[in-house]
Amino acid sequence: MKVLDFTKRTDKLVDKLLKLGFHYQSTDKEERPPKPPRLITTWANVMNGVTLQIIDTYDELRDENYKRITIPRKYVRITDDCTNISVTMSVEEFMELEQITNSHGITFPLPETSNENGLNEN
């Protein structure tokens, strides 16, 4: 029996995006002849005015025999929608982020607060 279970996530990057409040927007293929195409996946945090793009691209090198070698590379570009200022970082650097502060001084996600009085509010 085949089962579709949305509670089981396997992609740590997607989990991180969801934790930071981003929602999937689109995936586009950008042709760049003669270079290999880039795949750009866009996520947005509309409530906080921040757009994030995951860019899958290739670095091209030549070996000692001038044979072309393509090396896959993935990086993240985060843009503040109000100022249009963007920051580019590796996926590894992005995974270390815990919060983002936009140009309006709004930090998200909000820190988790504990129930300090110890009472169950249910």
pLDDT, tens digit, 9 for 90 and up, residues 28-41: 999 988 888 899 99
Q: What angle do CA 113, 6, 51 make, to 5 degrees?
A: 60
pLDDT, tens digit, 9 for 90 and up, residues 74-116: 999 999 999 999 999 999 999 999 999 999 999 998 766 545 5
**What is the rounded CA–CA span in Å between residue 108 and residue 29?**
29
CATH number of 12-95: 3.10.450
**pTM of the predicted structure, to 2 decimals:** 0.75
pLDDT, tens digit, 9 for 90 and up, residues 47-83: 999 999 999 998 888 889 989 888 899 999 999 999 9
Rounded alpha-carbon distances, angstroms, from residue 70 to 32, 47, 76, 79, 115: 14, 38, 19, 28, 52
CB atoms within 10 A of CB 22: 22
DSSP alpha helix (H) spans, 6-90 = 12-19
Residue 62 is predicted with a pLDDT of: 87
Per-residue pLDDT band at 122 (split at 50, 70, 90): very low
DSSP alpha helix (H) spans, 1-122 = 12-19, 91-96
